């Protein structure tokens, strides 16, 4: 595997990962300052995922067939990234008006949805199946690096001036996507196995295909992905508000605390791919989910900020074991001719989870308190473990061999 080129491809996910940590940690306090309840904040934070549920599967399938002189994925990056950057920069400047900030959030979400699936589809386009766990480790290393930079510097910039992390974050995202546009070589039409379908299948058709698959492994993996993202998205959406309302920590400092989680995700991203190569994807994911479950149960009782930072660091390592090794399995189910479609399907499951998690957790918080989000997330990690254990036995060897 060409490691240098793999890191170049990873700049796409680096750019994506710059935006979302800032979005999820800095926008909720703005909405709370406008008098919005946790339930409303949770609903607004799911807008991107509502859009992603329908846009990303369609964009993924469409990009499989978007053959231009720039490639089939790059046109989507060239349109979506600038659009997202413009609206993201607008967010802090309109934060005192609920309607305007809602429109800026919506515009950011649409822009990001237009280029995320095509960017992630490079994992399937450029790497054969036996290299995808290792390549995904590198790509997620780059994503974790972007998230860590965003959380630490974003929190510091926020203390200097609220608009700064939005402006700098957008600029860095555009720079990273520019590197991908300049240096990543997409396969030509004659180099790609194609399905022969004139029109890309829609979301319903793709879901039916997974449902009808004889070994059911694709369905069980998507259910597991849904469950673990419900748990983590709820925690990520409400962590800064938990820190403010339970621990008495300001949003900027709470954002920096999450850097510990992102830092360990960085350190364990590449090792997670190598571990799966040695011990198998299924075993690796189950260990990661079990660690996350224990961490969430312990976190429910922690009230010391220093201890919490250490706990988040440990959880980041376990999360790497989960996150790195899921998408390659989805690609193996879909086949090389449907990389974009199955990338969209993967993000359908995660987006649906990210809608469900913050809304349910927000409503639960309104009836209880912010600490309950730890237990809420733990329940869904347990459900993810159950779904992974339920993978069909005849897929056991393929999943345990790894790549």
DSSP string, 248-292: ---HHHHHHHTHHHHHHHHHHHHHHHHHHHHH-HHHHHHHHHHHH
Distance between CA 359 and CA 135 in Å, rounded?
33
214 phi and psi angles, rounded to 5 deg: -65, -30
Q: Is 68 helix (H, G, I), strand (E, B) or coil?
A: strand
Q: Report the pLDDT value the prediction gives residue 70, as an integer from 0 to 100.
A: 80
How many separate helices (H) and strands (E) can be counted in the chain? 18, 0
Query: Shortest CA distance to 312 belongs to which of 361, 267, 262, 272?
Result: 262
Q: Report the pLDDT value the prediction gives residue 81, as an integer from 0 to 100.
A: 93
Q: Report the pLDDT value the prediction gives residue 295, as an integer from 0 to 100.
A: 94
Q: Crossing angle of helices 327-334/217-242, nearest 10°?
A: 150
Domain boundaries, the chain: 3-185+203-401
Low-confidence ranges of the chain (pLDDT < 70): 1, 189-203, 206, 210, 213-215, 332-341, 392-403
DSSP per-residue letters across 39-57:
HHHHHHTTHHHHHHHHHHH
Q: Report the pLDDT value the prediction gives residue 395, as an integer from 0 to 100.
A: 45
Distance between CA 282 and CA 325 in Å, rounded?
8
Write down the pTM of the prediction.
Answer: 0.72
Q: What is 3-185+203-401's CATH number, 1.20.1250.20, 1.10.357.10, 3.20.20.70, 3.10.129.10? A: 1.20.1250.20
Residue for token pair 């710059």: 18
Residue for token pair 């254990």: 389
């Amino acid at each position: 595997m060409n490691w240098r080129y793999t890191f170049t491809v990873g700049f796409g996910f680096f750019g994506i990962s710059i935006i979302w940590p800032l979005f999820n940690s800095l926008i909720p306090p703005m909405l709370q300052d406008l008098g919005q309840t946790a339930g409303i904040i949770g609903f607004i934070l799911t807008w991107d995922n509502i859009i992603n549920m329908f846009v990303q599967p369609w964009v993924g399938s469409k990009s499989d067939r978007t053959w231009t002189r720039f490639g089939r994925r790059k046109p989507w990056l060239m349109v979506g990234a600038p659009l997202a950057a413009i609206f993201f920069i607008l967010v802090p400047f309109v934060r005192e008006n609920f309607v305007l900030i809602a429109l800026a959030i919506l515009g950011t979400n649409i822009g990001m949805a237009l280029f995320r699936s095509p960017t992630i589809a490079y994992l399937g386009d450029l790497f054969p199946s036996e290299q995808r766990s290792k390549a995904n480790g590198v790509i997620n290393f780059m994503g974790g690096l972007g998230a860590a930079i965003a959380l630490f510097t974003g929190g510091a910039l926020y203390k200097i001036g609220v608009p700064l992390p939005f402006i700098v974050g957008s600029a860095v995202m555009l720079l990273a996507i520019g590197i991908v546009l300049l240096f990543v070589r997409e396969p030509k039409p004659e180099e790609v196995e194609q399905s022969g379908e004139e029109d890309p299948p829609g979301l319903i058709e793709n879901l039916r295909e997974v449902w009808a698959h004889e070994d059911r492994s694709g369905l069980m993996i998507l259910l597991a992905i849904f469950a673990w993202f419900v748990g983590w998205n709820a925690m990520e959406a409400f962590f800064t508000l938990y820190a403010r309302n339970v621990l008495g920590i300001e949003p900027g400092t709470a954002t920096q605390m999450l850097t510990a989680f992102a830092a360990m995700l960085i350190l364990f991203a590449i090792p997670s791919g190598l571990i799966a190569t040695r011990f198998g994807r299924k075993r690796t994911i189950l260990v990661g989910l079990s660690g996350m479950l224990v961490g969430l149960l312990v976190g429910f009782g922690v009230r010391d900020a220093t201890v919490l930072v250490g706990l988040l660091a440990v959880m980041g390592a376990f999360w790497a074991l989960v996150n790195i090794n899921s998408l390659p399995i989805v690609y193996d189910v879909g086949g090389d001719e449907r990389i974009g479609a199955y990338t969209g399907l993967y993000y359908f499951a995660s987006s649906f989870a990210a809608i469900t998690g913050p809304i349910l957790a927000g409503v639960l918080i309104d009836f209880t308190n912010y600490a309950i989000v730890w237990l809420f997330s733990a329940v869904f990690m347990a459900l993810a473990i159950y779904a992974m254990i339920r993978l069909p036995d005849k897929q056991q060897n393929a999943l345990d061999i790894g790549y």
